[in-house]
C-alpha cells in the first residue's frame, strides 16, 4: 500500500492509500471509505449499512437520504443491488467529495450530492425518503466522533424525513471508547421505535441500527445472485441480524 495523496481540510485529515486492487481513505487512524475494482462488498461496516437499507419491510427502498457521504462506499453497493434507487447524500466536507470523485468514481453513481451540515439539512428538508442513513462522524486527532447527541429533537428531525413505512438507520462504531455513544443512540432508537434491529458485518467494530418495521433476515437471500466474488458471497452470508431487547 502507498499513500498517493494527503488532504487536510477544516473537517478531516485524509490519507489516500492505493491498495493492491483499489483505494482507501484513511481518517483518524481508520478506513473512512474504500473502493475495490474486483469486489462490491468490503467485509466491514458498509455491508451492514447496505443490508439494513434492503431490509425495509414493504420493499427495498426506492429513495434514500445518506447523511455523511464519505467516499460513497455504501452507496455504490446500494446502486449495485437496486440500480433504480434515488439517493441524496449530504456531506459537509467539499474536499471529501472531490476525493470521492477523483478516486472512487462517485460521479458514476448518479446521486444528488448536497454540500452542507447534515443535521442542519434535515431541519429544513421538504422531501421524504424510504430510508434515512445517519452516518455522521467527524475526524478527531486520533479517532472519529459523533458531533451531536441523538436527543429527542434530533430524532424528531431525522424521522420527519421518512415516508410512511420508512426506516431510520444509524452506523455506529462499537469499539473501545465508543460504547457510551453506542448505548445512548440505541436507547434513543428504542424510545422512538417499537422495533429496533442491529446488523453487524463480518469484520470490524461497527453495527447498523434499523429503526422501524423490517423484513426478516431471509430477505437478503434475494440479493445473493447479484454477487459473484466468493469473498462477497461469504461476507453477505456472515451478516448478523437481531432484534434489540
- Over residues 86-145, the pLDDT tens digits come to 999 999 999 999 999 999 999 999 999 999 999 999 999 999 999 999 999 877 766 788
- In three-state form (DSSP H/G/I as H, E/B as E, the rest C), the secondary structure along the chain is CEEEEEEECCCCEEEEEECCCEEEEEECCEEEEEEECCCCCCCCHHHHHHHHHHCECCCCCCEEEEECCCCCHHHHHHHHHCCCCEEEEEECCHHHHHHHHHHCCHHHHCCEEEECCHHHHHHHCCCCEEEEEECCCEECCCCEECCCCCCHHHHHHHHCCEEEEEEEEEEEECCCCCHHHHHHHHHHHHHHCCCEEEEECCCCCEEEEEECCECCHHHHHHHHHHCCCHHHHHHHHCCEEEECC
217-231 average pLDDT score: 97
Backbone phi and psi for residue 230, each to the nearest 5 degrees, phi listed first: -55, -35
Q: What is the pLDDT of residue 206?
A: 96
Q: Would you state the pLDDT for residue 28?
A: 81
Report domain extents, the chain.
40-243
pLDDT for residue 202:
98
**pLDDT > 70 in the chain, percent:** 99
Q: Looking at the predicted structure, is the pLDDT value of residue 212 above 70? A: yes
Q: Encode pLDDT of 137-183 as tens digits.
A: 877 766 788 888 999 999 999 999 999 999 999 999 998 889 999 99
pLDDT of residue 142: 63
The topology (CATH level 3) of 40-243 is: Rossmann fold (3.40.50)
Give percent of the chain with pLDDT exceeding 90: 90
Q: How far are the Cα atoms of 89, 156, 213 from residue 73, in angstroms, in the given order? A: 12, 27, 25
What average pLDDT does range 213-236 have in this prediction? 97
- Residue 211 pairs in a beta bridge with 168, 196
Task: With a cut of 80, say whether residue 29 has pLDDT above it.
Answer: no
pTM: 0.96
pLDDT (average), residues 78-90? 98
Arithmetic mean of pLDDT, 4-21? 95
Amino acid at each position: 500500500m502507498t499513500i498517493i495523496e494527503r488532504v487536510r481540510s477544516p473537517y478531516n485529515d485524509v490519507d489516500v492509500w492505493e491498495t493492491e486492487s483499489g483505494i482507501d481513505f484513511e481518517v483518524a487512524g481508520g478506513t473512512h471509505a474504500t473502493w475495490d475494482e474486483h469486489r462490491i462488498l468490503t467485509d466491514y461496516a458498509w455491508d451492514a449499512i447496505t443490508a439494513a437499507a434492503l431490509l425495509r419491510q414493504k420493499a427495498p427502498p426506492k429513495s434514500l437520504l445518506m447523511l455523511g457521504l464519505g467516499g460513497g462506499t455504501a452507496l455504490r453497493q446500494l446502486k449495485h443491488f437496486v440500480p433504480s434507487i434515488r439517493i441524496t447524500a449530504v456531506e459537509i466536507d467539499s474536499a471529501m467529495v472531490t476525493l470521492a470523485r477523483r478516486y472512487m468514481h462517485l460521479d458514476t453513481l448518479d446521486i444528488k450530492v448536497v454540500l452542507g451540515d447534515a443535521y442542519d439539512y434535515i431541519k429544513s428538508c421538504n422531501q421524504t425518503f424510504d430510508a434515512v442513513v445517519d452516518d455522521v462522524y467527524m475526524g478527531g486527532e486520533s479517532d472519529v466522533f459523533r458531533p451531536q447527541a441523538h436527543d429527542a429533537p434530533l430524532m424528531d428531525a431525522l424521522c420527519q424525513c421518512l415516508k410512511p413505512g420508512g426506516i431510520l438507520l444509524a452506523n455506529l462504531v462499537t469499539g473501545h471508547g465508543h460504547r457510551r455513544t453506542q448505548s445512548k443512540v440505541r436507547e434513543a432508537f428504542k424510545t422512538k421505535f417499537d422495533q429496533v434491529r442491529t446488523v453487524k458485518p463480518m469484520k470490524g467494530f461497527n453495527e447498523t441500527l434499523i429503526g422501524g418495521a423490517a423484513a426478516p433476515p431471509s430477505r437478503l437471500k434475494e440479493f445473493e445472485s447479484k454477487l459473484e466474488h466468493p469473498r462477497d458471497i461469504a461476507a453477505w452470508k456472515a451478516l448478523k441480524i437481531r432484534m434489540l431487547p
